[in-house]
Structure 1
Amino acid sequence: MSKLTHIGPDGTPRMVDIAGKAVTSRVAVAEGLLQTRSETIDLIRQGTKKGDVISVATLAGIMGAKRTADLIPLCHPLPLSGVDVEIEIDENIPGLRVTATVRTDGKTGVEMEALIAVTVACLTLYDMLKAADRGMVITAVRLLRKSGGASGDWVAEGGVE
């Protein structure tokens, strides 16, 4: 197992020092699922009293990625060059599949930003749909792939190429 980089030699939490690292192009892709009832999918297609839930959740995911350093104590604030959040109805779940792609040119990766984007989008969907379906489940939030940096490229088993 690799050394935990956010724990100092004395066991205390620390922010990793990235001063000596090179700036590289970095990309991370994450996904998550919101399992719903089939009736909830029908409601999404028709539109809800709260508006277009997919558009609102997309914006929330983008905003979440931008605020990651405010939410995760040891994350570096990063200048993001792009955040894309895609939300698709997936009848096989049944529910919604949320995918976030985050890009930067920086000294550290954007995996946490992609994971936060997915999670915030899923939570926003839950909030907007809970009046119709309190039994929804947010599940399978995971990193699909990342590129850039000293550790190179990584793809999850069963992830996107």
Structure 2
Amino acid sequence: MVKYGIISDSHIAENDDITKINALIYELKRVFNDVDQIIHAGDICSKNFLSELNAIAPTISVRGHDDKIKDLDNFIKFSAGRYNIGVIHEQPNDLENFFKSNDIHILIIGHSHQPFIKGTKYNTLLINPGSPTNPKAPPQKKGFDEPIARPSVITMSIDENDILSTYIINLKLD
């Protein structure tokens, strides 16, 4: 079994408030304490923050719109058990074709700052961990209370044959 910590859109700048950065790192150490690998879906923005994530667990990341870090690819693909997993910052326009042409079962995206875990109509899984620093609430739906934006990440556990769990975790940063 392998357990992933999934994060996106941290937007950590080198001159950000060190107290807030340290609080985020402390919380990520808590929620990612037992992960085997961290996946960052772009807009990490800080090489130092990437190093902090690597200190928690080995970390892979793709380039987001605001990333200045060299050596980040726009798309990465890897396998876990029988699942092919892709990571890209922004959701492709033709999602079905993207899944098929890249032969992936799970796609991890960022950019919207809104967390979700969605099964698609073509029997694949689309994951967005939201943002730990600048969360955005989804649009309000008729008949429901106004959604609340919360800092979030996701954990996902996969064994050789199954996705065992995928959870959105709201971070406690206050």
> What's the TM-score bracket when you normalise by the shorter of the two chains?
under 0.3
What TM-score does the superposition give when structure 1 sets the normalisation length? Answer: 0.27
What TM-score does the superposition give when structure 2 sets the normalisation length? Answer: 0.25
* Structure with larger Rg: 1
Higher relative contact order (CA closer than 8 Å, sequence separation 6+): 1
Structure (1/2) with the larger helix percentage: 1
